[in-house]
């Protein structure tokens, strides 16, 4: 459904990678965001109008999505358009740098689009206004219905050029959409673009569904469903809608995640009061038992090289995080701080593990090095858990529940994001209440 | 003499009122440690046979009172041989979702094992964990949480 006929990214002008050009440092909280002007993209008057898409407005809409993406990073400060001094088409050809500098912009984005023969052609440029130089010029072609993704792809390219890191805007988040009173919650799988647009519901809400997770290699999803009141791990292809139960376990399977190559599912299997960790190869269907311990072992997460698994266990008496080799050997406890630790999730960069910590009745989302040292708690609240990484390993999305009153009133669940710097905490807009978010890989890479 | 009696009466009255008030707060809280001991949410499989037992935070061990309840359930189930049951395990909202699913399963099995010890065949018992998904009391209070940390025996036929 999201098939992209694209993408031929053509570097059509030589880009200079001079050191003197502007660079945004994302490794610390940025209190001085870069002022950037995003000019509306010029719409070629020869463009053909399309059903459902007002082509004339597209240039403006795309620039607003780019601005919104930039603002959400906390690293950029998109400037108000009413102060812009040059028309989009002229600015795109050759901006008058001194005029843009006058409104205190340090970078400028310009572009143009044309819709013709069922195709949307886009080109855009990023200008360094201080050095009076072009930093990127790119062109690509896609289907007109993909116009929102055009904005995200442009955002990613500019983010990459200015920060030196991969972007994360052309991505989606799968989550559980919640509605109804607290004791009769209706839960559906839902998917949306990273910025909250294009929400689609993937299940009807007839059965309880929990913890959807993306395959890092493709558009498959694994999740827990109570279909026929049997809690089992399922696999869902979001392109075709085909679902299947994972394996043939005589009991509850839960806490699923994919291996980094997307070929295995790792999960917990509970039997006779004991939960252990298993993997199943999706092709051969071979099931392997990874842990064998009388305690609860759950929430497994692979390191991005596939060599290690982080998980939580109460084998010490209380819930703590452990790391082992992917064959189950060499189990080492890595959390020793005061409190309980759960939901370890390995960063896609491999350098950190994100977790939920519970201490004195408060819930924290934090990160630590993979050996458990260097713990940093990013945010504290009444209840929050289940962090999921942006594909570049810079942002975490998680869910937060509010305290409810005597009759359950005032209860809500929402998605939030925070940078691993601990700055830039934001609520993510969703159509309904939401929990258990999972962030996809970049859709076009 | 008179004075002495008065003093004694005063002391007795004081002691009695202390005992009463202590009793009242205990009743009101309905908890021992953080295990629920009241009957507000309890239903009955039959007269005098409560359907549920309660647990301490992060624990799945059975209290003396829970064992007493489960023995009553076992007696009832031994008398009604055609009855099958599902034991639902639950957790409160103060834990991570996945750990709570495992904890609910462990609690349900603790109840199942005890029923089996008292002569109920394992074939008649299925278990399911709902983790924190189905609270019986929706308030965010220690009392509500104690009522939600439970395993419930449900007749299936």
- Domain contains A409: yes
Q: In this structure, are A247 and A186 located in the same domain?
A: yes
Burial pattern A211-226, b for ≥16 Cβ within 10 A else e, equals bbbbbbeebbbbbbbb
- Residue A20: the pLDDT is 56
CB proximity under 8 Å: A 23-62 to B: none
B57 has a chain A CB within 8 A of its CB: no
Q: Of A273, A322, A383, which to mutate for an interface test with B (greatest number of B Cβ within 10 Å)?
A: A273
Contacts of A429 (CB under 8 A, 6+ apart): A196
Residue A420 lies in a domain: yes
Contact list, A386 vs chain B (CB under 8 Å): 96-97
Domain count, chain A: 2
User: What pLDDT was estimated at residue A49?
Assistant: 81
> Min CA distance, B43 vs chain A (Å)?
17
Test the B interface: residue of A270, A361, A438 with most B CBs within 10 Å: A270
Whether A435 and A188 have beta carbons less than 8 Å apart is answered as no
CB contact under 8 A, A383 and B93: yes
What is the pLDDT, as a whole number, of residue A381? Answer: 98
Q: How close is the nearest chain A Cα to the Cα of B41, in Å? A: 14
Q: Considering the domain boundaries, does residue A119 fall inside one? A: yes
Interface check B157 vs A, CB under 8 A: no
For residue A181, list chain B residues with Cβ-Cβ distance below 8 A.
Answer: 138
Asked whether residue A371 falls in the same domain as residue A435, the answer is yes
Say if residue A176 is in the same domain as residue A156.
no
What gap in Å lies between CA A397 and CA A236, rounded to an integer? Answer: 22
Q: Is residue A194 in some structural domain?
A: yes
A348 and A206 assigned to the same domain: yes
Residues A84 and A144 in one domain: yes
Do A313 and A339 reside in the same domain of the chain? Answer: yes
Look up tokens 């108000």; give the residue: A80
Predicted pLDDT at A3: 37
Residues A192, A117 within the same domain: no
Q: How many residues does chain A have?
A: 445
Sequence-distant (≥ 6) Cβ neighbours of residue A42 within 8 angstroms:
A59, A87, A88, A89, A92, A110, A111, A112, A113
Q: Measure the CA–CA gap between A183 and A194, rounded to whole angstroms.
A: 29
CA distances from B122 to A251, A296, A349, B74, B106 (A): 14, 22, 48, 12, 15
Q: Tell me which residue of A240, A326, A328, A220 sits closest to A283, measured CA to CA.
A: A220
Residue A414 phi, psi dihedral angles, 5° rounding: -135, 160
Q: Cβ of B141 under 8 Å from any chain A Cβ?
A: yes
Q: Is residue A364 part of a domain?
A: yes
CB A142 within 8 A of CB A157: no
Collect all residues of chain A within an 8 Å Cβ-Cβ radius of residue B98: 211, 254-255, 268, 298-299, 342-343
Whole-number Å distance between alpha carbons of B107 and B90 = 7
Torsion-angle region of residue A309: left (phi > 0), alpha (psi -120 to 50) or beta?
beta
On whether both A120 and A259 belong to a single domain, the answer is: no
Q: Sort out which chain B residues have CB atoms less than 8 A from A404's CB and list them.
A: 138-140
Pair A120, A229 in one domain: no
Closest-CA residue of B relative to A254 is B98
Is the CB of residue A384 less than 8 Å away from at least one CB of chain B?
no
- A431 CB contacts (<8 Å, ≥6 apart)? A177, A190, A199
Q: Determine, for residues B106 and A273 on separate chains, whether the beta-carbon distance falls below 8 Å.
A: yes
Residues on chain B touching A318 (C-beta within 8 angstroms): 58
Phi, psi of A246 (to 5 degrees): -95, 110
Cβ contact A182–B135 (<8 Å)? yes
CA–CA dist B74, B62 (Å, integer): 15
Residues B146-155: tens digit of each pLDDT: 999 999 999 9
Contacts of A312 in chain B (CB under 8 A): 96, 99
State whether B97 and A385 contact (CB < 8 Å): yes
Domain that holds residue A124: 10-163
* Residues of A in Cβ contact (< 8 Å) with B128: 229, 231, 252
In a domain, A338, yes or no: yes
Residue A197 falls inside a structural domain: yes
Render each residue's pLDDT in chain A as its tens digit; 445 residues: 333 333 333 333 334 444 457 777 777 666 789 999 999 999 999 998 877 788 899 999 999 999 999 999 999 999 999 989 899 999 999 999 999 999 999 999 999 999 998 899 999 999 999 999 999 999 999 999 999 999 999 999 999 999 999 999 999 999 999 999 999 999 999 999 999 999 999 999 999 999 999 998 888 999 999 999 999 999 999 989 899 999 999 999 999 999 999 999 999 999 999 999 999 999 999 999 999 999 999 999 999 999 999 999 999 999 999 999 999 999 999 999 899 999 999 999 999 999 999 999 999 999 999 999 999 999 999 999 999 999 999 999 999 999 999 999 999 999 999 999 999 999 999 999 999 999 999 998 6
Is A235 found in the same domain as A196? Answer: yes
Single residue among A133, A163, A193 that ends a domain in this structure: A163
pLDDT digits (tens, 9 = 90+) for B75-106: 999 999 999 999 999 999 999 999 999 999 99
Name chain A contacts of B60, Cβ cutoff 8 Å.
Answer: 273
Q: How far apart are CA A426 and CA B100, in angstroms?
A: 27
Q: In Å, how far is A296's CA from the nearest CA of chain B?
A: 7
Strand partners for A376:
A367
Interface residue A319 vs chain B (CB under 8 A) = yes
Check if the beta carbon of residue B49 is closer than 8 Å to that of residue B87: no
Radius of gyration of chain B (CA): 20
Among chain B residues, CA nearest to A274: B106
Which secondary structure element, helix H or strand E, spans residue A117, and what is its range?
none
In a domain? residue A126: yes
The reply to whether A213 and A135 lie within a common domain is no
Q: Which of A181, A228, A296, A359 to mutate to test the interface with B (most CBs of B within 10 A)?
A: A296
Which of A116, A138, A163 terminates a domain? The answer is A163
Task: Report the C-alpha gap between A215 and A438 in whole angstroms.
Answer: 10
Point out the residue among A183, A210, A403 whose CB comes nearest to the CB of B140.
Answer: A403
Collapse the DSSP code of A421 into the 3-class scheme (helix H, G, I; strand E, B; otherwise coil) and give the result.
Answer: coil
Please give the pLDDT value at position A29. 65
* Phi then psi dihedrals of residue A8, to 5 deg: -110, 90
CATH number at residue A205: 2.120.10.30
Contact A404 B128 (CB under 8 A): no
Nearest-by-CA chain B residue for A271 = B105
Chain A residue closest to B144 (CA)?
Answer: A406
- pLDDT tens digit sequence for A179-193: 999 999 999 999 999
Secondary-structure percent of chain A, ordered helix, strand, coil, rounded to 5: 15, 40, 45
* A400 to chain B: closest CA residue: B96
Report the pLDDT value the prediction gives residue A444, as an integer from 0 to 100: 82
SS3 at position A318: coil
For residues A25-42, b (16+ Cβ closer than 10 Å) or e, as one string?
ebeeebeebbebbbbbbb
pLDDT at B157: 84
Which of B96, B117, B133, B134 to mutate to probe the A interface, most A CBs <10 Å? B96
Closest CA–CA distance from residue B20 to any residue of chain A (Å): 27
- Terminal Cα distance for chain A, rounded: 18
* For chain B, percent of residues with pLDDT exceeding 90: 80
Q: Centre a 10 Å sphere on the Cβ of residue B127 and count the other Cβ atoms it contains.
A: 25
Q: Are residues A298 and A409 in the same domain?
A: yes
B5 pLDDT higher than 60: no
From B126's Cα to the closest Cα of chain A, the distance in A is 10
Of the three residues A142, A163, A184, the one that is the final residue of a domain is: A163
């Amino acid at each position: 459904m999201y098939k992209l006929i694209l993408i031929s990214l053509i570097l059509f002008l030589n880009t200079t990678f001079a050191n003197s050009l502007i660079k945004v440092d994302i490794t610390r909280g940025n209190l001085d965001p870069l002022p950037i002007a995003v000019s509306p993209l010029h719409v070629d008057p020869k463009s053909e109008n399309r059903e459902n898409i007002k082509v004339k407005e597209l240039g403006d809409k795309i620039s607003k999505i780019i601005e919104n993406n930039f603002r959400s990073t906390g690293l950029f400060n998109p400037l108000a358009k009413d102060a812009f001094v040059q028309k989009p088409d002229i600015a795109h050809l050759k901006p008058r740098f001194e005029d843009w500098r006058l409104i205190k912009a340090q970078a400028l984005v310009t572009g143009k689009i044309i819709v013709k023969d069922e195709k949307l052609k886009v080109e855009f440029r990023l200008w360094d206004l201080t050095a009076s130089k072009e930093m990127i010029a790119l062109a690509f072609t896609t289907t007109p219905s993909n116009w929102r993704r055009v904005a995200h792809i442009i955002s990613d390219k500019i983010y990459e050029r200015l920060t030196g890191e991969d972007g994360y805007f052309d991505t989606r988040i799968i989550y559980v959409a919640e509605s109804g009173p607290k004791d009769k919650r209706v839960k559906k799988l839902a998917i949306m673009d990273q910025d909250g647009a294009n929400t689609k519901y993937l299940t009807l809400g007839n059965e309880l569904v929990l913890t959807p997770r993306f395959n890092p290699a493709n558009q498959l999803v694994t999740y827990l469903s109570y279909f026929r009141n049997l809690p089992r791990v399922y696999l869902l292809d979001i392109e075709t809608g085909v679902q299947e139960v994972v394996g043939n376990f005589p009991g509850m399977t839960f806490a699923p995640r994919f291996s980094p190559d997307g070929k295995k599912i790792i999960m917990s299997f509970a039997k006779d009061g004991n939960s252990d960790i298993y993997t199943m190869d999706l092709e051969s269907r071979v099931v392997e038992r990874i842990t064998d311990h009388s305690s609860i072992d759950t929430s497994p997460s692979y390191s991005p090289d596939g060599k290690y698994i982080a998980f939580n266990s109460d084998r010490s008496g209380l819930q703590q995080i452990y790391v082992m080799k992917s064959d189950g050997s060499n189990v080492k406890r890595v959390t020793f701080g005061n409190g309980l630790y759960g939901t370890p999730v390995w960063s896609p960069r491999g350098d950190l593990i994100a977790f939920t910590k519970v201490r004195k009745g408060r819930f924290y989302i934090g990160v630590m090095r993979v050996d458990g040292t260097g713990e940093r708690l990013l945010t504290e609240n009444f209840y929050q858990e289940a962090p999921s990484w942006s594909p570049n390993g810079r942002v975490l999305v998680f869910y937060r529940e509010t305290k409810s009153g005597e009759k359950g009133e005032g209860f809500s669940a929402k998605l939030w994001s925070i940078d691993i710097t601990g700055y830039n905490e934001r609520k993510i807009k969703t159509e309904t209440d939401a929990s258990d978010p999972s962030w996809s890989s970049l859709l076009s890479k | 003499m008179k004075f002495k009696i008065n003093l004694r009466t005063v002391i007795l009255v004081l002691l009695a009122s202390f005992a009463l008030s202590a009793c009242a707060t205990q009743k009101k809280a309905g908890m021992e440690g953080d295990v629920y001991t009241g009957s507000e949410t309890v239903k009955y499989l039959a007269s005098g046979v409560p359907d549920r037992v309660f647990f301490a935070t992060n624990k799945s061990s059975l209290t003396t009172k829970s064992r007493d309840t489960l023995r009553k359930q076992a007696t009832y189930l031994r008398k009604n041989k055609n009855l099958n049951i599902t034991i639902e395990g639950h957790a409160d909202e103060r834990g991570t979702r996945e750990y709570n699913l495992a904890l609910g399963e462990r609690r349900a099995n603790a109840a199942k094992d005890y029923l089996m010890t008292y002569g109920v065949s394992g074939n008649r018992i299925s278990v399911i964990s709902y983790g924190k998904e189905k609270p019986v009391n929706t308030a965010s209070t220690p009392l509500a949480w104690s009522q939600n940390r439970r395993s419930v025996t449900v007749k299936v036929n």
